[in-house]
Structure 1
Amino acid sequence: MPSRVPAIVFIGGGPRTAGVLERLAANRPALFEGPLHLHVIEPHEPGSGRIWRYDQDPGLLLNSTAADVTMFTDASVACDGPSLDGPGLSSWAAGVLDGTIRDVPALEPHLLEQLRSLTPASFPTRQLQSKYLEWFFRRAVASLGPDVTVTVHRDTATAVAPAAAANPDAGAHRVRLSSGAEVTADVVVYALGHTDSALDDESARISEFAARHGGFHAPPSYTTDVDYSGVKAGQDVIVAGMGLAFVDLLVLLFEGRGGRFEERPDGELDYVPSGAEPRVWAGSRRGVPYHSKISSTLRGEPIARPRYFTADAIDALLAEHHELDFRTQLWPLIAKDAGYAYYRELFTGYPERVLGTWTSFESRFDAVDWYSAAREELVNFSVPDPALRLDLEKLDHPLSGCAFADHDAVQRSVAAYIQNDLNLRTSPDHSETLALFTALLFVYMDLGRLVPQERLNARSQQAIHGWWHGFFSFVDSGPPSHRLREMLALHRAGLLKFLGPGMWVRTDESVRRFVAGSFQSPVVVDASAYIEARLPSASVERSANPALANLHDAGWGTEQRLLTSEGAHSTGKLLVSGNHQVLSPVGTPQNGLFAVGPWTSGWGAGAFARPNTNAAPFRENDALARRLLTTVAATLEGAGMSASASVPAPLPN
């Protein structure tokens, strides 16, 4: 029987590809015994890739603690392949220091100092994270064994085309690289991570306005990739967006320009300027930054898993309804789980703050719907202090309905909100916020596992990728608490001003400047610089990545389109099947083409996660790796071939 070595090409070599490589090694003995050739096409360092690369500002941090970061598919992960324990970031750092982890290149002095000071509760720098991710990539490659070769191409994929029909043994696809080289493959996996998009019409118009009038405009982009040298010292800058991109922006514009923070005797921070700083006017839809990370510990009885948003509950809904609606059927279960965890911590951790026993409250809470008068009556009686009652709508829009009389009222309100958030999330006396955090995290991890995406109506798919992801990020994925303390210090120094909720921005030809304000305030400011501090929205049609743009332009892939009561709506994401296979514009699977990541229509889990949480990215990695192995096995079998007994020499890097 003719034989050859099948090849898989990964376009993108960041942490997602590293995780799939580890899963290929774990699953290969059971699914594909023959040799393999793997190609990883990545212009940056493999493992960390572009987003997590070492070459970025050393002041930028993860928004997760060292204890909450791992790349290993541990025993908690519900997957078909074998689990594999290994060191998370915190344990890896300790192992590098004590010499038990030796396969790490020499680190620079400032990284060694970070290792020495790192604790499980530390927020590591992204530079340190890059070294962990690169180490994991090398480990994953080594675990594949001697009959698998991995060739890393420090290049950019530009296109994928069908292989020549005259040579079917060469593989089904040709992957073209910017260098002019080509790689043949039986299977291609698009694992690009976060990607940029070409400017939409509105952003292009704004950039043209800024250029025409000598101003500055930064459209939605990855903060660390933007050149902010056009923002001058003392210049007013309008900033739209107060999420994680905004936090990074403040680092670059203030500490990154030589300023520093000093701690006062009362524990607050003062900002000592360098003189190179601009003055920032910030606003957003909510008008406040993401919630601080939590430093408290639970006092009461922790929850183990969701109580209402369960497999049985979802199966019952699927049996009764052809399509599910997120707002009317799923969100009430999620909200009730959030409330259950929150009130359990109040009752069992702070019994002096409630009336009655947890046992009594629990039995009555089980019997009522979240959105019901009975639930409101139960909570109002049992929790006398209104400030301790969980209001998820107020949590989502904390300044909704507020009408601010003047500039000072806006400043006082937003600053007070930030300070109160810090008090709640860093105080040892309010661990109910941690219980809420945990409950939402459990549901976020389980949503994609329990709910088939194809059984959601179009409106719900929009809600999940839009509102739900935004709400979860706002509550559970905020910055370290010291970043909010720094915001307050910058505000006190007069270098950070707040525009409030319901922010708007327009161009004004009469003054040749940007003008901004809030729908809830009479405050209006103008500036020659405008920064949109948020990530680019997904768009396959306007993708700045050449391989993804080619996938669309060649007609092999398409954007996901949802038919709602308002008409057809594109999510901008690449349409993929439940097993990550690329789908054509008419919905047929493209043989040998797979895609995974936040720009696909899948659930979009991140590339790494907390240990021991049955994390969604690890479940996805395992399922995809198994699918890839069965695909190459079937490809050889269908061609009447066997796997070669030897591996050819790898192609040059």
Structure 2
Amino acid sequence: MPANAPTVVFVGGGPRTAGILERLAANRPELFDAPLDIHVIEPHTAGSGRIWRYEQHPGLMLNSAAADVTMFTDASVACDGPVADGPALADWAAGMLDGTIADVPELPADLRRQLRELSGTTFPTRQLQSAYLEWFFRRAVGRLAPDAAVTVHKDTAVGIESLPTTQREDDGGGYLVRLAGGAALPADVVVFALGHTDSLPDETSAAWADFAARHGRFHAAPSYTTDVDYAPIIPGQDVIVSGMGLAFVDLLVLLMEGRGGRFEDTSDGRLRYVPSGAEPRIWAGSRRGVPYHSKISSTLRGEPAESPRFFTAEAVDALLAEHGELDFRTQLWPLIAKDAGYGYYRELLTGYPERAVIGWTEFAERYAAVDWYSPERPRLVADAVPDTDLHLDLEHLDHPFAGRELAGLSDVQSAVTAHIEHDLRLRTSLDHSETLALFTALLKVYMELGRLVPPERLNSRSQQAVHGWWHGFFSFVDSGPPPRRLREMLALHRAGVLRFIGPGLEIQAEEESGRFVGTSAQTGATVRATALIEARLPAPSVARSANPLLRQLHRSGLGAEQQLLSTDGLHSTGRLLVSDRNEVLSPMGEPSRRLFGVGPGTSGWGAGAFARPGTNAAPFRENDALARRILTVLAGHRRHAGQPDTVAENPAPATLQGKA
């Protein structure tokens, strides 16, 4: 690169960075047609990063079918830059087999087998996903040709500092990013795209770790499941697991099949688990007491799904015009719930008209006229759908055991297994596609929320609710595991290696016995065990991050944690504070034009790194806007420095370089 080529440094090289690189390539002809020097700092493989890296257990799977995974923009994406369509994961696999996909190194034999067996409805392994993401990264780098260099540093960023103004002659100063290996990278723009990072244990987890150490017990604090060493857990050991989400699903794979057990199909269509004898006995509990809902294998049979009808830009704008601040639960959630119900009943009444006594046209007109929480809405549903089991109850969906009496562990086992069996019947049956309509309606709203609602216009309680309850509820309903994983849970339960504690799990450390005690607050069921696993990702934290760069960013005052004011004072969300333009904000709220943050650890909405095709996916919109912002900043830097905006006649080709 020319010596005066501006430099962009990405801290983190997972799929989010890959998506932004692709958007930089798509937008450069319009905004910045000049040489560019890009550095990507990633200790794992660029493209897949830590979470999706190849080097993890081969049995770990995505919770999305192959046809529902793409890294590419398409015509549905509402962005200012040009869309650049490309193959979703299933199409990519087909192209790999027929030779139409290029720039892919020879894959291991097992991944080649997976390619041959993959279909659009298959849930692929994370190892196969890693190959797709790494291919996309290389493709994005190639699209930056002919005058951009991309250097990958297989290293960790440990610090960042502002360059003294005497070393800069441009309009805003630059930065120096220091790496663990000793290198220091000057940067005109820095993008923090770190994804999920570890945090130092909070007070409760630290106390449990101390308890475990003093009594010779095992404790695993929140972490990415596959990065924890479970070797100290011995066969037959009782283990309390707090959390029944996707981390719990991965944990079962590692502690069961990962220790030599296997599943067999039975003549009645169920699975049988054949233990190896090396398994512990898992006691699982959580706030709800049940695992995430299964992904859905049915197809819609009624009228096609629509865009949100009630949670719309017009409705939100009207609320914004009327109120200084918005409250999520009282003002926005009723609109979201009404859209969810609209999608659900549309499919029920148009796909299964024999289940209703009112036609869809009449129902839709009456439904539109009532509020979600008005008494008229349940009366309308009762008039239209005689079978009360088909009535949508979102509160019951969120808390399936609320108000139910469960007497002890025996009742809990029956209740949880019955819940899982019922969930599988609804979500894998061809006769209950209303569950898919609900899934689709919630997904569309989830993708629209960040576009329609400015975060700064939500009151502090609502910002906590969005990142807490709403994200948790959406994940519980829409981001669950493949159906097979729930069938495996039932098989593990029948084999005696998985038991359930119940809802409202509370954990205590019992000094007298040296054991962890798990109790269901609702049922009183209690279990004592010598091991405790907190099966969830750690809560975000900048000040307590295990990532040295984030801690240094906080100490230096270049960045800050998001603080929300509640009735008991300021409350930190732990997230890196960014503006609605992804600019990193100082503790005083001042934006940096050259530091950007994106992803789940920031105060932005955040919505993953890849998405379903044709959904106007939020991460793709954000990637495009951020890429255009970066290019605009760089173009301004060139004009300030008196450099021409034209590219050299014979520019160097784009390169993908690597540095250990």
> What range is the shorter-chain TM-score in?
over 0.9
Match of 2:78 in 1: 78
**Cross-structure match for 2:30:** 30
Identity of paired residues, percent?
68
Amino acid at match of 1:22: E
Match of 1:92? 92
- 1:281-360 to structure 2, matched below 5 A, reads 281-360=283-362
Shift of 1:647: 6.2
Matches within 5 A, 1:536-615: 536-615=538-617
CA gap 1:299/1:652 in 2 versus in 1, 3 angstroms? closer
Distance 2:587 2:344 in 1: 45
| 2:57 is equivalent to residue 68 of structure 1 | no
1:40 aligned counterpart, secondary structure: strand
Equivalent position SS for 1:526: strand
Please report how far the alpha carbon of residue 648 of structure 1 lies from its aligned counterpart in structure 2 after TM superposition. 11
Q: Is the 8 A contact 1:158 1:547 kept in 2?
A: yes
Q: Deviations over 1:296-355 (max 9, x none)?
A: 111111222111111111111111112111111110010000111111111111111111
8 A Cα contact 1:4 1:642, kept in partner: no
How far off its partner does 1:498 sit?
Answer: 0.5
Q: How far apart are residue 493 of structure 1 and its match?
A: 0.8
Cα distance between partner residues in 1 of 2:414 and 2:166: 73
Residue deviations 1:617-636 (CA, integer Å, cap 9, x gap): 00000000000000111122
Q: Which has the higher mean CA deviation after the structures are superposed, 349-358 or 25-34?
A: 349-358
One-letter identity of the residue aligned with 1:36: L
Output the CA distance in 2 between the equivalents of 1:174 and 1:649: 24
Mapping of 1:299-448 within 5 angstroms? Answer: 299-448=301-450
Q: Distance in 1 between matches of 2:340 and 2:588?
A: 40
2:178 aligns to what SS in structure 1?
strand
Distance 2:641 2:35 in 1: 17
- Residue identity opposite 1:507 in structure 2: A
Give the aligned residue type for 1:118: L
The CA distance in 2 between the partners of 1:55 and 1:212, in whole Å, is 33
C-alpha separation in 1, matches of 2:370 and 2:658: 65
> What SS does the corresponding residue of 1:203 show, helix, strand or coil?
helix
Partner of 2:6: 6
Larger mean CA deviation between 78-87 and 453-462 belongs to 453-462
Aligned to 2:272: 270
Which residue number corresponds to residue 511 of structure 1? 513
Decide which moves more: 411-420 or 375-384: 375-384
Cα separation, 2, equivalents of 1:7 and 1:489: 54
1:457 CA displacement: 1.1
| 1:652 shift after superposition | 6.8
The amino acid across from 1:203 in the alignment is S
Answer yes or no: is the 8 Å Cα contact 1:326–1:463 preserved in 2: yes
Structure-2 separation of matches of 1:165 and 1:616: 37
Cα deviation per residue 1:473-526 (whole Å; 9 max; x = unaligned)? 000000000100000000011110100001111000100111111012232111
Query: Which residue of the partner structure matches residue 498 of structure 1?
Result: 500
CA distance in 1, matches of 2:40, 2:445: 33
Aligned to 1:236: 238
Aligned AA (2:321): A
Deviations 1:196-216 (CA, angstroms, capped at 9, x unpaired): 001112111110110111100
C-alpha distance in 2, partners of 1:601/1:166? 33
Cα distance per residue 1:209-240 (max 9 Å; x no partner): 10111100000000010010011111000000
Quote the offset at 1:548 in angstroms. Answer: 1.1
Q: Render the CA deviation track for 1:381-415: whole Å, top value 9, x for unaligned.
A: 11111111000000000011122112211110111
**Counterpart residue type for residue 90 of structure 1:** A
Partner of residue 210, structure 1 = 212
- Give the Cα separation in 2 of the matches to 1:71 and 1:394: 35
Query: What's the counterpart of residue 466 of structure 1?
Result: 468
State yes or no: 1:111 paired with 2:100: no
Q: Secondary structure at the match of 1:514?
A: strand
Distance 1:206 1:167 in 2: 49
- Does the CA contact (< 8 Å) of 2:141 and 2:654 recur in 1? no
Secondary structure of the 2:165 match is coil
**Deviation, structure 1 residue 380:** 1.2
- Taking the aligned partners of 1:220 and 1:615, their CA distance within structure 2 comes to 29
Contact 1:197 1:536 (8 Å CA) reproduced: yes
| Contact persistence 2:148–2:654 (CA under 8 A) | no
- 276-285 or 315-324: which moved more? 315-324
Map 1:119-134 onto structure 2 (within 5 A): 119-134=119-134
**In structure 2, what is the Cα distance between the partners aligned to 1:622 and 1:117?**
34
The runs of 5 or more residues in structure 2 that have no matched partner are none
SS of the residue aligned with 1:352?
Answer: helix
Is residue 475 of structure 1 aligned with residue 477 of structure 2? yes
Deviations 1:109-142 (A, max 9, x none): 1000000000000000000000000000000000
Q: Partner amino acid for 1:64?
A: S
CA contact (8 A) 1:281 1:497 kept: yes
- CA positional deviation for 1:649: 11
Equivalent position amino acid for 1:637 in 2: R
Aligned to 1:114, what secondary structure does the other structure show? Answer: helix
Q: SS in structure 2 opposite 1:418?
A: helix
Q: Distance in 2 between matches of 1:560 and 1:621?
A: 22
Give, in whole Å, the separation in 2 of the partners of 1:647 and 1:563: 52
Residues 559 and 570 of structure 1 are in contact (CA less than 8 Å); yes or no, is this contact kept in structure 2? Answer: yes
* Displacement after TM superposition at 1:569 (Å): 1.1
> Does 1:174 find its partner at 2:206?
no
Task: Report if the CA contact (8 A) 2:585-2:592 is conserved.
Answer: yes
Match of 1:282, SS state, is: strand
Kept in 1: contact 2:69–2:88 (CA 8 A): yes
1:217 is paired with a residue of what secondary structure?
A: strand
Name the SS of the counterpart of 1:166 in structure 2.
Answer: helix
Q: CA deviation at 1:169?
A: 5.6
Q: Deviations over 1:543-584 (max 9, x none)?
A: 111111111111111110111233211111010011100000
Cα deviation, residue 435, structure 1 = 0.4
For 2:288 and 2:103, the matched residues in 1 are separated by 46
Superposition TM-score, scaled by structure 1 size:
0.98
Residues in 2 aligned to 1:93 and 1:159: alpha-carbon distance in whole angstroms: 39
Quick one: distance in 2 between partners of 1:309 and 1:270? 45
Retained in 2: the 8 A contact 1:47–1:133?
Answer: yes
Aligned match of 2:263: 261
Deviation at 1:101, TM superposition (A): 0.8
SS at structure 1 position matched to 2:610:
coil
Give the number of aligned pairs: 652
CA distance in 1, matches of 2:248, 2:522: 21
What SS class does the counterpart of residue 358 from structure 2 fall into? coil
What letter is aligned with 1:590?
S
Cα distance between partner residues in 2 of 1:60 and 1:553 = 37
CA distance in structure 2 between the aligned counterparts of 1:86 and 1:506, rounded to whole angstroms: 51
Work out whether residues 160 and 175 of structure 1, in 8 Å CA contact, stay in contact via their aligned partners in 2: yes
Look up the equivalent residue of 1:4 and give its one-letter code: N
- Counterpart CA distance in 2 for 1:13 and 1:520 is 44
Residue type at the aligned position of 2:402: S
| Matched-pair contact (CA < 8 Å) for 1:66–1:120 | yes
Matched residues in 2 for 1:155 and 1:169: separation?
A: 29
Q: Contact (CA 8 Å) 2:142, 2:654: kept in 1 or not?
A: no
Contact 2:146 2:653 in 1 (8 A): no
Bigger shift: residues 319-328 or 526-535: 319-328
Q: How does 1:528-543 map to 2 (within 5 A)?
A: 528-543=530-545
Structure 1 residue 3 displacement after superposition: 8.0
- Asked whether the 8 Å contact 2:147–2:654 carries over to 1, the reply is no
Structural mapping, 1:30-49, within 5 Å: 30-49=30-49
Matched, 1:524 2:537: no
